[in-house]
Structure 1
Amino acid sequence: MRGALETRLDDAGVGRQEPALEPLKCALLTGCLTGCGGTGCPSCPRLSALRRGGGPARGGMNTWQRRGAFESGTGSEEASSSLSGMRRRAAPSPSGSSPSLPPRKLLALPNTPPTNEDLTRLFKCRECSDFALPPIIQCESGHLVCGSCRPKLSRCPICRIYLGSIRNLALENLAESLLFPCKYIASGCEVTLRHTVKADHEEMCRFRPYPCPCPGAECIWRGPLDAMTAHLLQHHDSLKTLHGDEVLFQATGINLPDAAPWVMLQSCFGYYFILVLEKQENYDGHQQFFAIAQLIGTREQAEKFTFRFKLIGEMQRLTWEGTPTSIDEGIAAAIAKNNCLVFETSIAQLFAKNDNLNIKGTVSMH
């Protein structure tokens, strides 16, 4: 610091050096660290403030209170003690490290057991993110693969180790006490169930993707049940749609060999029904006709209705009455259970007119 020491003579005439007061006054009054004393440094805040006619640049009230002591020739001891106190506070610890902080108090978390959802996450297949259910296969590193992915994989999808037949018995035992969500939870299914019945539920879950129900059409559409009616109306516009609880279903060219199924839609009570007439060979090689009414809805919804088919001829009547088949079951299941109107080709000839059949379809709601 420039001008930091000055020489004075004591009473005995012996010279001694002590810190100059003017640089100390400058440091305390203005914050200038050059030691100019407020007179010779162009950047000194004190000098700049005096030139502008303003107050001191730094220091505040306490600094100006100290100024009077310096101007009266006293206060050197006070300034020295103030600076030494500042040095003591700024000095690093002997070891060179910063002062240690008091230890923090850690909050104790509540000892809550894991939830069912937390535990089911342990069963995620590392290939498809579905659940790996018993028998649970893992690689040597412990990565799980589900039963659907295992036949398609030779190596672990995570660590690339060859997959063997290592069973995770601990997780298999844990699975017995857990409830697993349906695989169609993202589509809206909120059911949770035991792993032993999970596959059966998902096979008939109303939130699963359905194939196109139009028989005889090579359609690859798959989608939710709520979108099925819109798909049929938009992409199968050749289907005839009749409205009302009683309609006339006309099948033309019934004697044609290898005839395609006859299909139409009936709309009533806020629902759509698919009416289908198929000609198939039975077990002994004879051809039969099957008339099926299928509700675009669930089994529970189908139970609300009764459907009646009536073959109309000049002198004959042939009637079938029963619960319509739901989309969940399908046409093949309805034929297998005889849940439809069945008649031989010889009977069809009795009711046919110009190679056409007229079948009346009537829906009633319970």
Structure 2
Amino acid sequence: MASKLHQLRSKAVQASEFVAKHGCAYYKELLEKNKQHIVQPPTVEKCQELSKQLFYTRLASYSIPGRYESFWKELDGVKHIWTNREDLKIEDAGIAALFGLELYAWFCVGEIVGRGFTFTGYYLENEERTGEVRGPEYLAAGCMESDSIECVSSIDGIDEEATSLPHHSAKSHGGAAPPAGIVPSTSVHELLECPVCTNSMYPPIHQCQNGHTLCSTCKTRVHNRCPTCRQELGDIRCLALEKVAESLELPCKYYSLGCPEIFPYYSKLKHESQCNYRPYSCPYAGSECSVVGDIPFLVTHLRDDHKVDMHTGCTFNHRYVKSNPREVENATWMLTVFNCFGQYFCLHFEAFQLGMAPVYMAFLRFMGDENEARNFSYSLEVGANGRKLIWEGTPRSIRDSHRKVRDSHDGLIIQRNMALFFSGGERKELKLRVTGRIWKEQQNNDAGVCMPNLCS
């Protein structure tokens, strides 16, 4: 029984490959016939992948009552396109050819349509076949004569264990064949991507009457209309796809950046929000910038797009001048990016209300993760007229937003009245000089204590 099921699955895959191959050829034939050309015709490999996904999606969609009848409506649409394709754009005709050939291949894999039984966890309605499908003659002949897509009868009573989807990843074309099963994990993962936002879908996963899925967030964005076929979405849940997702174990989305972790599908999202390999957000505090990337990219972005000053060295001396300091309410500046010890640091200076008192605050953030930031220390000093304030601390990681650091008061805070006193004059103009330095804590192996490594 398991052998027959494996044979049926194999024929389904082979049929999809046949569809892709000949659909691509038919598309190119239409281009040649109409003497039209496109920059990059579809490759057979790309068509194979799309055809397989379409095949499996259509199979899954039969879990919806009444879906069988809409299959024939789609088929009539394909016939109409075949007979009236002169009135269409050539690209539309090519896509229609691929779609129509895919539908045609359904009937070349045997009688899986029209006989009710469990197939990869989905229930097909027990309906009778009501007609034959005819494609272009040369394709019909080629399809029926091909040994790779001979008819295979359906099997009643297939056990649930034998029909479960595999949890392995498929190798690329040209490598070893994937394990027995309809869809390898990578293909199922692609089916779990929302077509609107391209993010992974989590319950509730919604679908239209034609089986097209999308995530709950995007359901409201598309005004309850399927973005693929424009049918009304309603409240249909794709329970089968949600159940399939429970059995998946997938790599972190940042595996290409170095993360080696593999998680169950529904645990993956939480890990990815905290993954050490995830990109960093732009640390610029003057506006809500949505740019993300690695540290070298963000340094270039800060310099070129935000025009932030760059400074090399571990000591600094800045002077902040404001002609009317009382107008500086809830202002934010990031003045300088420092490069020292082969790392980058961001110096922030802010003005805000602390309770009822207007204050200024300066603090340093490390462009990297928190565990690396702990290797460094910094000091800030402000003063005049024989008086000074000194702050020493550990820089915060840019994983923490500047607002989070500010609200935790983790930096040098000086009240406005004192800042104006340090400015001298008649306290009408802010002229505040802030000096500082950055050093790296080094472990002294002999004494077992940390010694500061000062930058020259």
1:280-324 CA-partner distances (Å, limit 9, x unpaired): 01233x211111212222333323222222223343332222221
Counterpart of 2:348 in structure 1: which amino acid?
A: V
Pick one of 371, 386, 401 that aligns with 1:315. 386
2:249 corresponds to: 179
Structure 2 distance, partners of 1:362, 1:193, is 43
Task: Indicate the structure whose relative CO is greater, using CA pairs within 8 Å and at least 6 residues apart.
Answer: 2
* 1:249 paired to 2:249: no
**TM-score normalised by structure 2 residue count:** 0.49
On the 8 A contact 2:303/2:309 being kept in 1, the answer is no
Counterpart of 1:322 in structure 2: which amino acid?
A: G
Q: Show structure 2 runs of 5+ residues with no match.
A: 1-144, 151-176, 442-456
* 1:360 paired to 2:435: yes
Structure 1 distance, partners of 2:264, 2:212, is 22
Q: Show structure 1 runs of 5+ residues with no match.
A: 1-100
Larger Rg, first or second structure (1 or 2): 1
On the 8 A contact 2:178/2:184 being kept in 1, the answer is no
Structure 2 distance, partners of 1:215, 1:164, is 42
- Number of matched residues? 259
2:413 corresponds to: 342
Kindly report which structure 2 residues correspond to 1:1-366, keeping only aligned pairs within 5 A, or say none. Answer: 112=180, 115-153=184-222, 154-182=224-252, 192-203=262-273, 212-216=282-286, 222-226=291-295, 227-237=297-307, 239-253=308-322, 256-259=325-328, 260-262=331-333, 263-284=335-356, 286-353=357-424, 355-366=430-441
Counterpart of 2:201 in structure 1: which amino acid?
A: A
Structure 1 distance, partners of 2:216, 2:380, is 45
What SS does the aligned partner of 1:349 have?
helix
What SS does the aligned partner of 1:265 have?
strand
Distance 1:296 1:178, change over 3 A: same
**TM-score normalised by structure 1 residue count:** 0.60
1:131-171 CA-partner distances (Å, limit 9, x unpaired): 21122212223221023321112222233221122222233
1:167-189 CA-partner distances (Å, limit 9, x unpaired): 22233233233234555667776
CA displacement at 1:279 relative to structure 2 = 0.8
Counterpart of 2:403 in structure 1: which amino acid?
A: A
Counterpart of 1:275 in structure 2: which amino acid?
A: L
Counterpart of 2:231 in structure 1: which amino acid?
A: I
- More displaced, 141-150 or 313-322? 313-322
What SS does the aligned partner of 1:329 have?
coil
What SS does the aligned partner of 1:117 have?
helix
Counterpart of 2:397 in structure 1: which amino acid?
A: S
Structure 2 distance, partners of 1:330, 1:152, is 28
Q: Greater helix percent: which structure?
A: 2
Percent of residue pairs bearing the same amino acid type = 30
Structure 2 distance, partners of 1:201, 1:111, is 28
